[in-house]
Amino acid sequence: MAILLQIGIVFCVCLAGEAISLFLPFPLPGSVISMALLFALLMTKVLKTEQIKQKAEFLSRNMGICFIPAGVGIISSFSDVEGFIMPLIAVVIITTMITFMAVSGSVWGVIKLQEAILKKKKGEKCE
């Protein structure tokens, strides 16, 4: 019964996000608004992690299922992109490398920032 309540909570947050997106004067996907809304509810402790933990764990374990429709869509429209395979692969590789560099740079920056904060707390000079 608890899992049904958790599914209901997540569904209501998604429904609220979709409703909000209808009233915005600019296009913003309801799913993005729903994620921001869920984040805000969790951060303000209005919604506790335990209230959606089982549902979140289920979705994390079965995330691959969500990619099946996208894969089928790509396969069904393969004839449209057949002549652009090499440029498409190049774009995928380049954007993956850019994403990797951006994430690693961000992680490096956060680590340096944390080290500086720890040194400052200990009374040492930062380099």
C-alpha dist (Å) from residue 3 to 8, 60, 122? 8, 15, 46
Residue with tokens 């560099």: 101
C-alpha closest to that of 2 among 57, 66, 63, 61: 57
pLDDT digits (tens, 9 = 90+) for 75-106: 888 888 788 889 989 999 999 999 999 999 99
- Average confidence (pLDDT) over 23-34: 92
Per-residue tokens: 23 = 């009233």
Percent of the chain with pLDDT over 90: 53
Give the distance from CA 22 to its chain's centroid.
21
What is the pTM assigned to this prediction? 0.56
**Is the Cβ–Cβ distance between 55 and 3 less than 8 Å?**
yes
User: Does the pLDDT at position 50 exceed 90?
Assistant: no
Contacts of 22 (CB under 8 A, 6+ apart): 30
The reported pLDDT for the residue numbered 125 is 55
Sorting pLDDT into bands at 50, 70 and 90, what band is 124? low
Among 39-48, 67-76, 102-111, 117-126, the minimum mean pLDDT is found in: 117-126
Give the distance from CA 82 to its chain's centroid.
30
Q: What is the DSSP letter of 42?
A: H
Amino acid at the residue 111: I
